[in-house]
Amino acid sequence: MTTVETRVETPAPQADPPRSVARSALRSALPIIGALVGFVAVWYLVTYLVLPAKQRFLLPPPHEVYGTTFSNPQLMGPMMEALARSFAVALVGLVIAVVFGISYAVVMSQWAWAEKVLYPYAVILQTIPILALVPLIGIWLGYSFLARVAVCVIIALFPMVANTLFGLQSASAAAHDLFTLNKATRWQRLVKLQFPAAVPSIFTGLRNAAGLSVIGAIVGDYFFQQGSPGIGGLLRVYTQRLQMEALLTSVTLTALFGVVIFTIFAVLDRAVVGRWYGRVAR
């Protein structure tokens, strides 16, 4: 049998010389750097030209903010510790949200009635303002670690549930017919069809949930202040004391924290999902 369609792999374009790699990296970084420069420029503009001298303490210039805080170990030490604690809350919250969210979606995917019964609760959890739940969480779970984690889970859960369910239901009707014709059990269908089909969506959910769990951890810290403070707790303290430099630095750190977490999961997403379909270019 010789009528095989031959598929000649086009040779990969020759590797670019290093100089042009550096240049293209620079070109892709340029907008980000540009935006940063613009941001700092606006900041200086507001500090020196918009604010009258008497109110300049409301927004000290960047060099004062970062200069005084980053070089001050008494300020940076507690801040980094608090950040680590918030990280722990976010991580524990994310793990719970992932495990619970996927299980919840799997149950919904198996029985039509289960979806009808359970989905509304996921939506309610998503739509109810977290502020409305804060007093209850405090009363039930106390005002420290556990309560912070709970806030985190509530915020991060919905994207996990919704994306996983979408993925589990994404297999085509024909693929389901294939499994039916081969007399697949419910378990085989879940493990060999629905779950693998859901992997890309689960990673999308994970990326979103990770970003939200960071927000959840900080919001949780902010409200539940018993025990050692997280970065959200420090935000509150600095606000009350009007320590503008420390406040702005911790806001910056939380932003960076979020960006780092989101990036990690975005990279993970691309790596895993790319491999899932057999390393497709792009």
Chain residues in the site for other proteins (CB under 8 A): 1-5, 7, 172, 174-175, 177-184, 188, 192-193, 196-197, 199, 276-278, 280
- Distance in angstroms (rounded) separating the CA atoms of residues 273 and 280: 10
**Tokens standing for 159?**
């994207």
For the chain, the first-to-last Cα distance in angstroms comes to 34
Judged by beta carbon, residue 5 or residue 18, the one nearer other proteins is 5
Least distance to other proteins from the beta carbon of 2, Å? 8
Shortest CB 103 distance to other proteins, Å: 21
Nearer to other proteins, 175 or 268 (CB): 175
- Looking at the Cβ atoms of 19 and 183, the one nearer to other proteins is 183
Number of other CB atoms surrounding residue 90 within 10 Å: 29
Contacts of 79 (CB under 8 A, 6+ apart): 69, 231, 234, 246, 249, 250, 253
Judge residue 46's burial from the number of C-beta atoms within 10 Å of its C-beta, 0-12 exposed, 13-18 middle, 19 or more buried. Answer: middle
Answer yes or no: are the C-beta atoms of 148 and 217 closer than 8 Å: yes
In the complex, the smallest distance separating the C-beta of residue 269 from other proteins, rounded to whole angstroms, is 15
Q: Would you say 182 or 240 has its CB closer to other proteins?
A: 182
Beta strand segments in the chain, E:
none
Nearer to other proteins, 7 or 54 (CB): 7
- Least separation in angstroms between residue 168's CB and other proteins is 14
3-class SS at 128? coil
Q: How many angstroms from the chain centroid is the CA of residue 36?
A: 22
CA atoms of 232 and 271, how far apart (whole Å): 32
- Which one, 46 or 199, has the nearer CB to other proteins? 199
Q: How far is the CB of 163 from other proteins (least distance, A)?
A: 17
Minimum distance, C-beta of residue 204 to other proteins, in the bound complex (Å)? 16
- The nearest distance, CB 197 to other proteins, in angstroms, is 8
Nearer to other proteins, 91 or 197 (CB): 197
Task: Please report how the helices 73-110 and 195-223 are oriented relative to each other, as an axis angle in degrees rounded to 10.
Answer: 140
